[in-house]
Amino acid sequence: MSEVIIMKELLGENTRIAEENRDLYKKDKVIMVNIMGAPGAGKTTLIKALTDELKSRSVESAVIEGDLFSSIDADKFNDNGVKSVEINTCGECHLDAAVIKSGYDSLGFKNGVVFIENVGNLICPAEFDLGEEVRIVCASVPEGDDKPFKYVPMFSYVDAVALTKCDLKEAVGFDTDNFRKGMDAVNEAPVFETSLKKGSASDPGVKGLVDFILKKS
Ligand SMILES: Nc1nc2c(ncn2[C@@H]2O[C@H](COP(=O)(O)OP(=O)(O)O)[C@@H](O)[C@H]2O)c(=O)[nH]1
Ligand SMILES: [Mg+2]
Ligand SMILES: [Zn+2]
């Protein structure tokens, strides 16, 4: 019983900090986007594509990387001219509002879009409000078309779904109708299909997601 109470207190404190974050992003004219999904779902690849698309529309973006112990992904973004900070989660299975606040402060970014790459996990990131404006889950085709039926809290938490690695649909026998049926059962969030194996320049799903994100400004 005491453990349940501690968890509730922890989440209450998180929600309070998330509200402060929300005010801060608004003041800085930042659209904060939380990208969640299983390990290997294509989160980093998608964020890279979204930052490229934003750049082509003259919108600045930055990245808070929370997925790894190392700084491999943050280095990749910085080399590409996109400001990025790495949060070393030390094995934690989610990010919380306080850790995002410190990552955001060290970014020193205003006027644009900031992407958070959450820890690869389809469960508890859906319990921690980060003060973000947009929540997106990456679901990759090789994970199977039944995921919205199985991970209801995550799929009902998000504003949009990126169905990634659609180039692999035939190879793995992915049933798109079943996936959409699962989504329709839990959430009205739109599903954007992406195939980024051969680059992202003309991917309609990436363009659709960027339109969706910029509508929030
Ligand atoms: N076939 C295919 N592979 C992809 C696609 N997007 C990402 N990948 C591959 O999937 C693996 C994991 O991608 P990554 O972006 O690192 O996933 P993360 O762990 O969620 O950040 C990498 O080998 C990517 O090259 C895609 O659209 N199609
Ligand atoms: Mg990654
Ligand atoms: Zn967790």
How far apart are alpha carbons 4 and 142 in whole angstroms?
35
Instruction: Return the ligand 1 atom nearest residue 37 CA.
Output: 20
Q: Which pLDDT tens digit goes with each residue over 84-109?
A: 999 988 788 999 999 999 999 999 99
Rounded mean pLDDT, 40-54: 96
Q: Which H or E run contains 11?
A: helix 2-27
Instruction: Give 200 Cα–ligand 1 centroid separation in angstroms.
Output: 12
User: Does the Cβ of 169 fall within 6 Å of ligand 1?
Assistant: no
According to the model, what pLDDT value does residue 108 have? Answer: 95
Pocket test for ligand 1, best of 35, 44, 45, 193 (most atoms within 8 A of CB): 45
Rounded mean pLDDT, 138-150: 98
- Check: CB of residue 141 under 8 Å from CB of residue 165: yes
**In this structure, which residue's CA is closest to atom 8 in ligand 1?**
42
User: Does the Cβ of 14 fall within 6 Å of ligand 1?
Assistant: no
**Ligand whose nearest atom lies closest to the CA of 140:** 1
User: Does the Cβ of 89 fall within 6 Å of ligand 1?
Assistant: no
Report which of residues 72 and 13 the model is more confident about. 13
Backbone torsion region of residue 162, taken as left when φ is above 0, otherwise alpha when ψ lies between -120 and 50, otherwise beta: beta
According to the model, what pLDDT value does residue 50 have? Answer: 97
Residue with tokens 């989660």: 89
Instruction: Return the ligand 1 atom nearest residue 47 CA.
Output: 15
Q: Which H or E run contains 208?
A: helix 204-214
From the CB of residue 190, how many other CB atoms can be counted at a distance below 10 Å? 12
Domain 2-214 in CATH 3.40.50.300? The answer is: yes
pLDDT of residue 178 exceeding 60? yes
**In this structure, which residue's CA is closest to atom 11 in ligand 1?**
40
**Ligand whose nearest atom lies closest to the CA of 40:** 1
How far apart are alpha carbons 152 and 170 in whole angstroms?
25
- What share of the chain in percent tops pLDDT 70? 94
According to the model, what pLDDT value does residue 10 have? Answer: 76
Report the chain's mean pLDDT, rounded to a whole number: 93
Look at residues 194, 32, 1 and name the one whose alpha carbon lies nearest to residue 115: 32
Residue ranges per structural domain of the chain = 2-214
Rounded mean pLDDT, 61-67: 91
What pTM, to 2 d.p., does this model score?
Answer: 0.95
The band of 7, judged by pLDDT with boundaries at 50, 70 and 90, is low
Report which of residues 76 and 113 the model is more confident about. 113
Report which of residues 66 and 29 the model is more confident about. 29
